């Protein structure tokens, strides 16, 4: 049983590797979030630097 699971995991990883190698669109899609994250960090840093502490009180409820 455990052997089957480990083989299944290996197969999934191998499939992902093949996807990455053979399909450029997948490669671009899978890497996209790291740039999005960085933009967000940049946006928030600038917003924080511009803002006063009390000017950003959080989620108004």
Partner 1 sequence: MTTFAEHSSSLTARGDERTLGAIPPVEYGLIRAHVFASLVTVVISALFGLLVATKFTLPEFLGGHSWLTWGRLRYNHTQGIFFGWLGNAFLASFYYAVPRLANRPVFSRKIGWFLFVIWNFAVVLPGWVLVLAGFSQPLEWAEFPLVVDAFVVLAFILMVFEFVVPFLKARLSDLYVSAWYLIGGIIFTMLAYPVGNFVPELVPGARGAAFSGLWIHDAVGLFVTPFALSIAYYVIPATTGRPIYSHFLSMVGFWVLFFTYPLNGTHHYVYSAIPMAAQKGAIVASAYLGMDVILVVTNLLLSLRGSSGTASKDVPLRFVWFGVISYLVVSLQGSIQAFMPINRVIHFTDWVIGHSHLAMIGFGSFVALGGIAHMWQHIPGTRYNERMMNWSFWLLATGLTLMITDLTIAGLVEAQVWESSAPWIDSVRAVASYWLVRTFSGLPILAGFLLFWISLVTGPRLSETTTSAASRPTAENNAAYENVPEFSPEVQPSGWLSYAHVVAFGAGVGFFALSFLVLAILPGKELADQIKRVAPAAMLPLTASEQRGRVIYGREGCAYCHTQQIRSLAADVRRFGAPTEAWETKYDYPQLWGTRRIGPDLSREFNLHPRDWQLTHLYNPRFVVRDSVMPPYPWLFSGSANQPTQEALDLLAYLQSLGRARRLSGFDQQTPAMSATTDTSVDMAMAGDPSGRATPPTVPIAMTGGISDSAPVLHPSSNPYDLQEEISHGATVFAANCASCHGTTGRSDGKASASLLPKPANLTAARFSDERLSSVLWNGITGSAMPPWRQLPTEDLRALVAYIQSLYVAGAQPTTQAAANPEVGKALFTAACASCHGGAGAGNGPVAGTLTPAPTNFHLKQPTEERAWEVLENGVPGTAMPPWKSQLGEFERRALVAYVRSLYGTPQEGPKQ
Residues in the site for partner 1, rule: CB under 8 A?
1-3, 5-6, 9, 12-13, 16-17, 20, 24-45, 47-49, 51-61
Report which of 32, 13, 36 is spatially closest to residue 24, judged by C-alpha positions: 32
Report which of 38, 40, 19 is spatially closest to residue 28, judged by C-alpha positions: 19
Which CB sits closer to partner 1, 2 or 22?
2
What's the closest the beta carbon of residue 22 comes to partner 1, in angstroms?
Answer: 13
Judge contact between 20 and 26, C-beta under 8 A.
Answer: yes
Stretch (H or E) spanning 5: helix 2-22
What's the closest the beta carbon of residue 27 comes to partner 1, in angstroms?
Answer: 5
Which CB sits closer to partner 1, 22 or 32?
32
């Amino acid at each position: 049983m455990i052997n089957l699971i480990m083989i299944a995991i290996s197969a999934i990883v191998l499939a992902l590797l093949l996807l990455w190698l053979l399909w450029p669109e997948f490669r671009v899609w899978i890497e996209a979030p790291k740039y999005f994250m960085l933009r967000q960090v940049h946006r928030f840093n600038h917003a924080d630097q511009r803002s006063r502490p009390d000017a950003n009180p959080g989620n108004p409820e």
